[in-house]
A and B are shown apart, each in its own frame.
Chain A
């Protein structure tokens, strides 16, 4: 039996040795990095809370809005640049990052609003306290950089600060998806390595890691049996027992 244990151990180590090293190394990186920095929010500020521009009861009545947009699942309130809006969910995903479809209606004027480049830029700037200036704006429909799980079209606003901050604004709702910067991307790189997520899907359920995990199980269990065997044969000394 020990013959097979050793054989399994050697061949498994040949297959996954390098990845095992990467796993342990990236795992150690997660242990030592500053998790606060890795969130990417170094230059993020909470939206300024001001007095209501207008009392809530004086906004356009929700009944009128819902009559105008009858295909609505839920009506909620949101604020963009301190102005009140109604957010009408037209298609609801299980989570915010799943596919959702929204309409944004100005709660004072009733105007249907689109989060265009200019509005997205201003929302991003209002959330930003870094030293940089916004240099470029891109709209991503799918494969949103830094947010692989986000399934909704998203604006990316790039700032030219020391951390290369990017701010992401969801096109449908005006929601700030998040801030990202070089610290977060550094951690993200090691997550990619640890999860073998080479397609940047933001997932650790990919086929390559399943295969490697399967072989790793054999490596670890054969190593365990081998170690126990050697312990029982007198503390590693009788290693050439055969």
Chain B
């Protein structure tokens, strides 16, 4: 019973963290400037006809911006490429300097960049492997923010700061998934939740008899505070006097 009590404390603390912090803040939306830079058609001086001649297998062509320059992005056999749309120069994969420039362009605060690291395999928990290869650019600011910049298309694929990392931990403890973090349907949670349901129900019954009923009965019930009901997680056991 003490064990379920501990889980009740964990549920309350982790639940409170999750509801008190705004989820958009947790997701680091405030770390990012949502630029609305328009494509200047006059800058597309490298014609797409030339592109298709040079890369006949190019598929899913798109046009967008890399910081302030127009770029073509396309795939060849699921591999992503990026060209400068003014001269056709191959820009992908982007180097460290460009990754830092992109990260600074999108970063909403003015913190210094600590470093940038290229992640090619074994991504950390916070990065989906479908985004690889990715530059992680770390900023020197409150909450250790990091922006992840795709090395192949130069876009911000995700962002993280400590508040989100803590949130992920809170969620794991909340759903009692102590191995990989995402699975709500685990047996451990089932058993504890079942016991907790019983505990919560007995707590409700106790509250009714110890609090609600005495409040409505006109009877003077002076020993009500001294009667000391058992806490909700404590079911009567045989060793009572």
Interface, chain A (partner B; CB < 8 A): 3, 6-7, 9-11, 13-14, 17-18, 20-21, 23-25, 27-28, 30-32, 35, 56-57, 61-63, 66-67, 70-77, 91-94, 203-206, 209-210, 213-214, 216-217, 219-221, 223-224, 226-227, 230-231, 235-237, 239-240, 242
Check if B99 is an interface residue, CB within 8 A of chain A. Answer: no
Interface pair B230/A77, CB less than 8 Å apart: no
The contact sample of 12 A-B pairs, CB cut-off 8 A, is: A14-B211, A17-B207, A31-B185, A31-B189, A56-B58, A73-B64, A203-B23, A204-B19, A213-B15, A213-B19, A220-B9, A239-B230
B51-81 CB contacts (< 8 Å) to partner A? 52, 56, 58-65
A-chain residues with CB within 8 Å of residue B65 when the two chains form the complex: 73-74
In chain A, what residue has the closest Cβ to B194? A28
Question: In the complex, A73 Cα to B227 Cα: how many Å?
Answer: 70
Interface pair A62/B2, CB less than 8 Å apart: no
CB distance from A15 to the nearest CB of B (A): 10
Question: In the complex, A64 Cα to B15 Cα: how many Å?
Answer: 53
The secondary-structure label for the interface of chain A is helix
Known: A74-B39, A74-B63, A227-B5. A10 touches B200 (CB 8 A): no
A-chain residues with CB within 8 Å of residue B20 when the two chains form the complex: 205, 210, 213
Interface pair B185/A32, CB less than 8 Å apart: yes
B120-176 CB contacts (< 8 Å) to partner A? none
Interface pair B228/A240, CB less than 8 Å apart: yes
Range of interface residues on B (Cβ < 8 Å)? 35 or more
Interface, chain B (partner A; CB < 8 A): 1-2, 5-6, 8-9, 11-13, 15-16, 18-23, 29, 32, 34, 36-41, 44, 47-49, 52, 56, 58-65, 184-186, 189-190, 193-194, 196-197, 200-201, 203-204, 206-207, 210-212, 225-234, 237, 239-241
Interface pair A205/B39, CB less than 8 Å apart: no
In chain B, what residue has the closest Cβ to A67? B41
Interface pair B241/A227, CB less than 8 Å apart: no
Question: In the complex, A70 Cα to B37 Cα: how many Å?
Answer: 11
Known: A24-B193, A56-B61, A61-B47. A214 touches B16 (CB 8 A): yes
